[in-house]
Each structure stands twice: as C-alpha cells, then as structure tokens.
Structure 1
Amino acid sequence: MDKNDSGYIDLDSRAEKMLRKGEFLGCGHNGIVYLLPDKRVIKIFKDKKVCEKEYDILKRARKSKYFPKVYAQGTYYIVRNYVSGERLDKYIKKEGFNKQIAHNIIKLIKEFKMLGFKKLDIRCKDLYVGKHFSLKVIDPKNNYSEKVIYPRHLMKGLNKLGVLDEFLSVVNNECPEIYELWNFRIKQYLDKGIK
C-alpha cells in the first residue's frame, strides 16, 4: 500500500519542527493548514504534485499584490504568508456586495492575464477580502495548465449569492470589451446547468 493511501505523509524534520509550534487553521480537499508564530502558514498537501503546482504558481506570481509571498517548499508542504480577512462568499453573505469589490475582482482577473495564466478563474472560497476591500488568492490551482477564458466558477459563486447581475453591471461600466464575453459565457453556462 502506498504511504498516501493510508493518510501518511512523510515530512522532513524542518516541517515537523514547524508543526510543533503551529496552530491548526483548517483543512480542505488538498491538505491541511497551520498558522506559525511568525504570521506565516505551513500548508501540508496530500499530493506532492499539487504541492509543486501551487508552489510554482505562487513563485511565478511573487510580485503580485494578490498572492501571498511563498518562503519555502518541501516535498509535501509550502510555507507562505498568512492571509487575513474573510472568505469572499462569507463576506458577501454578512456585509453584502459593492462596486469596490467588483472593481477589485476585475483588476484581479486582469492581473491573472498579465501573469500569463491560462485559467482566468478562481472560486469565491479561494479569495479573501481584506482592508479597503483588497483581495488575496489563497489556493491557486491549475492556472498555467487549465484553459478557462473567463471567471466561470467565480461568477457561478456570485450567482449563488445573488450578486452576479450587480457584478456584471460594474464590468459593463468599466470594461465593456470583456463584459460581452463574460456575460455571454456565464449565461450560456448557467442555462446549460438548468436544463
């Protein structure tokens, strides 16, 4: 049996030492996250290939204000900045949606394009809202390998929250050239889901 089939992950001594001082933050589909004393986090992955891909994205996006700085990588873990704030979906449920958040989402997707991402998409739960409605990506996935030409999952999430039309209105006012594509694609996608 493979080590990972049993839930066992072989960590190096450096990671084990960090974990002893860490505070559990949460776990997701790909792994588990601990807060370290220096306001960094260690994210431990179940799959070393997923770890490598996320580290690569964070390293390539290191100059972007939308991504946490990454400090170290092991076979199954990365160490990066802690991202404060609140998940976008939870934030919208509590505080509502506004033009500044919409504006910052548009800027974020434009930044994805500038970074050479093939996947111009992110899920609401992978975005955190900070001070002054700033946004940070916490869990980038397949941005250089999967092709998605508009923010499909993001807009699907905004639709579930009841704010998609408000978002698209801001997109139309600020960037009519991308509004046509995004509006057409998401309506097409949502219509397919209903049938």
Structure 2
Amino acid sequence: MRFVLRLLMSIAVALSVGFGLSYYALTDGRLFGAVSLGPWTTWPDIGSPAPNPYSNGHITRAAALHLGRSEGLQFVATTDSDGDALDLGCTYRLDGHVPVSTFWTLAAVDANWVNLAAPGTDAALRSSEIIRQSDGALAIHVGTQLRPDTWLELNGSGPFSLVLTLYDTTALSSFASSDVTMPSITLEDCA
C-alpha cells in the first residue's frame, strides 16, 4: 500500500513539474532561446527556418505571423532599465542608439497585444520620424503626458510593453552580435 501511494505521489509530482515547465516555455519562455539586452528581449530563433522546439511551440501557441530571420527582429521591453514594470501612468524616455537596420518601428501594446497609441495618432513611431541628437542618438518620450521633441503618445492605464521592430538588420547575426546596444528606458515622472 505504501509503495502504491509513493508511486502515485511521484507520478503526480512529475506530471505537475512537466506540465508546469511546458506551460512556462510556451507562454513566457525567456529561459529558452531568448536574448536579453538590458530591458529588451528578443527570440532570434523565431524567424529561422528551423527554430528550436520551445520557440516553435511559442509561435504555434501565439498563432502570430513573425518576421523571417532575414527580414528583421522584434525586441520587447516590459520593464524600464531599472527593472520596474512599465506603467501608462508614467512617462519614460528612450535614449541611445538602435542597432543598424534599414528601418525600425516603436509601438506600445498591452498584455493582449492591443496597440495603445492615442486615437488620431499613428499606431507606431517610425525611424524616419524622430529627432536625433548631434551624435545620432535618439531621445524619445513615451507616455500619456505631452513632452517636447519626439513623443510616442499613448492612451489607457495599467502595464504595457514597448515593441521595437528592426527591419533588415544584422543585429544578433553571427557577424555583429558582440556590438549590439539597445536604447535605455528611463522613468521620467508619474502622474
């Protein structure tokens, strides 16, 4: 009787751990194939012809159309550079350089990937629309409160994510992976 109880307990623990890790890998999966650069995270295998099994499962579960590896990379930030969650009640500033790419876009989305751009504005900020510093660095304000210079105007409340999509880029390719830098995300103030 004792043997049967221990066997059933072992099976229950094994199934719980197995299904739990599988669920984590398919929903978040930052430990499996993700590359983090500061607050930004990307999954470079997603666009490859033969992604790893965890990336493949993530693609299938999300049922999203992703860029091919030669087309570009998508970086997602859910926190600022200090590790605090991004909140629509606050204003943030992105500073620095974007990896070399032909074109890029910056958008804000909620947990369901619904775009948070304010009504009457473009859904994303494009690289051709920003004001650059004299050294080529960008300075973008993100939030619901009006700011000078380049501003990504948002609408809503609660947590959000920033999505930076680089098109036709060599970032994280075997040639240029050591010198990739991403813009920092700094909290300016909260309402």
Which interval holds the TM-score relative to the shorter structure?
under 0.3
Give the alignment's TM-score, normalised by structure 2. Answer: 0.27
Q: Which has the larger strand fraction?
A: 2
Q: Which has the larger helix fraction?
A: 1
Give the alignment's TM-score, normalised by structure 1. Answer: 0.27
Bigger RCO (CA 8 Å, 6+ sep): 2
